[in-house]
Amino acid sequence: MSEDVFTALVDQHYTGLYRFALSLARNTADACDLTQQTFYIWARKGHSLRDVAKVKTWLFTTLYREFLRGRRRGARETALEDAPEAELSDQDVDQLRRVDAAVAWEALTRVDEVFRAPLTLFYLEELSYQEIATTLNVPIGTVMSRLARGKSQLRAALADRRAAAPVVPFVLPAKKQTP
């Protein structure tokens, strides 16, 4: 495989794979490791893929298997670390968008991994039920069931978050009046 083809593959799939890895591992360091390991495996074994149209599924399946292998092996515990807060811009709209995304992401991390993986693949990566089934090596019915149960857990996590969060009104700062 040429370097240009490999670079194009990385450019096309890196973000999606990283998001999936982050949803599984729950911390940035492990997500980076999983993503890089996936591309390393592709560089070594990707040439054996017969149907090039299935490269995306192959990559997600490989990443998921590496995640499971690392968990089973116990080589390293993936601790939920307090991620450093992103610096907020001065623009109020950008701040609100980040808060919404952070709340949604935090709620997703509270969903059990067995349900979080299909949710991430379906909603964030837009994989079909069949592609998810192939990636996770489970029947389509199991994918559908896990999506339904995962959505239920996600709704509950969001409801818990809303119930626990103090209601703080968002007020724009008043303009200074000049005398």
Query: What is each CA distance from 37 to 27, 30, 144, in whole angstroms?
Result: 16, 10, 29
Q: Which helix (H) or strand (E) holds 131?
A: helix 129-136
pLDDT at 68: 87
Give the domain CATH number at 60. 1.10.1740.10
Total domains, the chain: 2
Q: What is the mean pLDDT of residues 79-85?
A: 36
- CA–CA separation, 14 and 132 (whole Å): 18
Q: What is the mean pLDDT of residues 32-36?
A: 90
Confidence of residue 174 (pLDDT cuts 50, 70, 90): very low
* Residue 74, helix vs strand vs coil: coil
Q: Please tell me whether residues 57 and 19 are part of one structural domain.
A: yes
Which residue range is the domain that position 133 belongs to?
92-164
Q: Which of 45, 120, 30, 31 is nearest to 77 (CA)?
A: 30
pLDDT at position 164: 67
Q: Does residue 57 fall inside a structural domain?
A: yes
Q: Is residue 87 part of a domain?
A: no
User: Where is average pLDDT lowest: 32-46, 53-67, 156-170?
Assistant: 156-170
Question: What's the CATH number where 131 sits?
Answer: 1.10.10.10
Boundary of a domain, candidates 46, 73, 100: 73
Of 29-33, 91-95, 141-145, which has the strongest mean pLDDT? 141-145
Tokens matching residue 125: 């990566």
**Percentage of residues in the chain with pLDDT exceeding 90?**
17
